[in-house]
Amino acid sequence: MRRILLPVLLLSLVTATPAHADPSRDPRLTDNALYSVGPIPRSACAEKPINRRNHVPTARKYVTFVMGCLDRVWSTYLAEAGIPYKKPRLKLLTKDPKKYCGLDWADYDYAWYCYDNREIMVVLDRTLLNLDPDDLYIFTMLAGFYGEHVQHLAGIEEARLEGESDDPITDVRRSLLQSLCLSGAFTGSVYRSMPRNVDDWKFIVKQRGKVVQDRFYGKPASIAYWMNRGFTSRDPKFCNTWTAPKAKVA
């Protein structure tokens, strides 16, 4: 699997609006209602593997099914937390766009969460579906982008952008690692219903570390730590990267 995030798009997350306060002291980040409910209840999301390589209709059905699970689980959970819910848009393409979210698109990328219109876009072409499509990778990729949307709904994204920080790169990393942790929490809540075992999860965590590691996401060890923390706890409380020591978000 290739890199899923464009550096130029990530840089747009660093150039925030005018600063007001240190993010580490903002209760919207450190004491958010998202952390107050407890573990995500276990439920079923019995995925059906894509199996057929480079087959767009099967992949489209798979992505749409997973998004339906994400909508169901997070709408219920956020209601318990008292956080208004609105599902993200989903846009599926079969070839790379020239531009997306106002920026040029690179032909080696295949998915993105656009903050401007709250949309998850996936390009279902050979870049993603070639030879041996890794269903669980696509599953956790979608869940990670959905985690970014959850951060928006909970006010976490707004608080980060409004914050003053001496280290904005680390703040972006805290946000992205939190989205991966939320991905793990969701996946852990439905994993027993999936045709998967523990080794499948370990493999995908390792793959994610290889694919997305950079100065924004951090080291593979940090990626693994937060994905596993979410997966084993199923609790967004344990995805609170904003109170974690810097060594845990390196």
Query: 């003053």: which residue's tokens?
Result: 164
Length of the chain: 250
The percentage of residues in the chain with a pLDDT greater than 90, rounded to a whole number, is 71
Q: Which two three-digit tokens encode residue 80? A: 């318990």
* Phi, psi values for residue 249, rounded to 5°: -125, 30
The percentage of residues in the chain with a pLDDT greater than 70, rounded to a whole number, is 88
- Average pLDDT, integer, range 172-182: 96
Q: Which helix (H) or strand (E) holds 100?
A: strand 99-100
* Phi, psi values for residue 227, rounded to 5°: -65, -45
The secondary structure of residue 21, as a DSSP letter, is B
Give the residue from 43, 215, 239, 74 showing the smallest Cα distance to 153.
Answer: 74
Given this model, what pLDDT does residue 163 score? 83
CA distances from 198 to 3, 138, 193, 205, 243 (A): 24, 17, 13, 11, 29
Give the residue from 45, 29, 37, 5 showing the smallest Cα distance to 186.
Answer: 45
Given this model, what pLDDT does residue 122 score? 96
At 39, is the pLDDT very low, low, confident or very high (cuts 50, 70, 90)?
very high
Given this model, what pLDDT does residue 200 score? 95
At 4, is the pLDDT very low, low, confident or very high (cuts 50, 70, 90)?
very low
Q: Which two three-digit tokens encode residue 32? A: 């958010």
- Average pLDDT, integer, range 27-36: 97
Compare 212 and 191 and report the one with higher pLDDT.
191
Give the residue from 35, 36, 26 showing the smallest Cα distance to 161.
Answer: 26
Q: Which two three-digit tokens encode residue 152? A: 């928006």
Q: Which two three-digit tokens encode residue 142? A: 């979608």
Q: Is the pLDDT of residue 3 over 50?
A: no
In three-state secondary structure terms, 91 is strand
The torsion defined by the Cα of 207, 213, 216 and 217, in degrees rounded to 10, comes to 40
Compare 225 and 5 and report the one with higher pLDDT.
225
Average pLDDT along the chain:
88
At 210, is the pLDDT very low, low, confident or very high (cuts 50, 70, 90)?
confident
Given this model, what pLDDT does residue 166 score? 79
At 131, is the pLDDT very low, low, confident or very high (cuts 50, 70, 90)?
low
Q: Is the pLDDT of residue 192 over 90?
A: yes
At 191, is the pLDDT very low, low, confident or very high (cuts 50, 70, 90)?
very high
The torsion defined by the Cα of 151, 152, 154 and 156, in degrees rounded to 10, comes to 70
Compare 86 and 50 and report the one with higher pLDDT.
86
Give the residue from 9, 10, 6 showing the smallest Cα distance to 106.
Answer: 6
CB-based contact 185:239 (threshold 8 Å): yes
pTM, entire model = 0.90
Compare 169 and 7 and report the one with higher pLDDT.
169
CA 180/CA 242 separation, integer angstroms = 14
